Amino acid sequence: MNKFFTISLLALFVLGFDIRTSAYFEDGNKAPDFQLSTLDGEIIRLSDYLGKIIIVDFWATWCGPCRMAIPELVELQTEHEDELVIIGISLDQPYTQRNLKQFIDQYGINYPIVLGTMEVVQAYGNIRGIPTSFIIDRDGDVVDKFTGYVPKSHYTTVIDPLLSSSE
């Protein structure tokens, strides 16, 4: 009986997790718009980039897997600068934000970095691990989500068909 109860509880957890992750947004697959500021005070809105393929990447300077992913994201941005925009949402705490500018320079980050808020984290399904990246098509629909370090080839598998589709 205990074994059955444990398996049932585990199945419920797994099913519940799948339901939550497949419906993280109030508006179907539409990526929640946000308005966040860069270190320089520039306001970045997701909606400003509709019409392009967008990668929204939640990360932090202290995160090892994030540091591994950044050079590959820089390459992707360079290779597809006209059709793709990557927006890095830093989840660094205020006491580590002072090092953010130096980190951006050190890693040669060539895409906008904005300061994340709890509201945005919640809007994107309560990010539970970083890096977490959302791939968003030209219409603003989330087409994929990656959590943890993912090699560049995984991104290109998803974005190449989107890039080749008509605008």
User: Is the residue at 40 inside a domain?
Assistant: yes
Radius of gyration of the chain (CA): 17
Specify the number of domains making up the chain: 1
pTM to 2 decimal places:
0.83
Give the C-alpha separation, 65 to 69, whole Å: 6
Please write the tens of the pLDDT for every residue from 86-129. 999 999 988 777 789 999 999 999 999 999 999 999 999 988 89
User: Is the residue at 86 inside a domain?
Assistant: yes
Q: Which two tokens stand for residue 56?
A: 């929204």
pLDDT at site 26: 53
- Catalytic residue IDs: 63, 66
Give the domain CATH number at 56: 3.40.30.10
pLDDT at site 18: 33
pLDDT at site 108: 98
Which one has a higher pLDDT value, 165 or 105?
105
CA angle 33/66/90 to nearest 5° reads 40
Phi-psi region of 158 (alpha: psi -120 to 50; beta: other; left: phi over 0): alpha
Q: Which domain holds residue 130?
A: 27-164
Q: Which two tokens stand for residue 48?
A: 């400003």
User: Is the residue at 62 inside a domain?
Assistant: yes
User: Is the residue at 35 inside a domain?
Assistant: yes
Q: Give φ, ψ of 147 to 5 degrees.
A: -120, 135
pLDDT at site 5: 33
Does the structure show a pLDDT above 80 at 135? yes
